[in-house]
Amino acid sequence: MNHDDSDKSAHEQEWPDALDAMVAAPEHHAVLLENERVRVLDSRIKPGDTVPVHTHRWASVLYILGTTDFVRYDTEGKAVFDSRTAASNLETGAVTWSPPLRAHSVENVGNTEIRVISVELKD
């Protein structure tokens, strides 16, 4: 196995295709545009919904169209972020940067839909 193959194998283990947001959670993500440089997703989580475990392998710019309280969980179901206890929260209309997100799930524990446009920057 050459060096390129081992790098690819390590990448596939960290970011398995089966956990890509569009494969693992298509009912919560829609592709608005995709080419060799970017993928633009429209992500929606209705009140009370939990998004299945998935990843976002690329860093992205997030445009917040709708927000409410949510909890992000790791693959074991342990809460790793709870907006209800966070020091600050993003408001509707905010734009922010997100690093790649390893396998996680998200539960909407608020009363309104979470909606985010993500511009994922492919490597």
Decide: 62 and 100 in contact? Cβ < 8 Å.
no
Out of 23-32, 55-64, 84-93, 97-106, least confident range: 84-93
Structural domain that includes position 29: 3-121
Q: In this model, does residue 117 exceed pLDDT 80?
A: yes
Buried b (16+ CB within 10 A) or exposed e, 25-55: beebbeeeeeeeeebbbebbbeeeebbebbb
Quote the pLDDT of residue 2: 47
Q: 83-111 pLDDT, tens per residue?
A: 999 988 889 999 999 999 999 999 999 99
> Closest Cα partner for 40 from 60, 26, 54?
60
- State how many domains the chain has: 1
Report the alpha-carbon distance of residue 45 to residue 105 in Å, rounded: 11
Res. 115 pLDDT band, cuts 50 70 90:
very high
Q: CATH number of the domain at 107, please.
A: 2.60.120.10
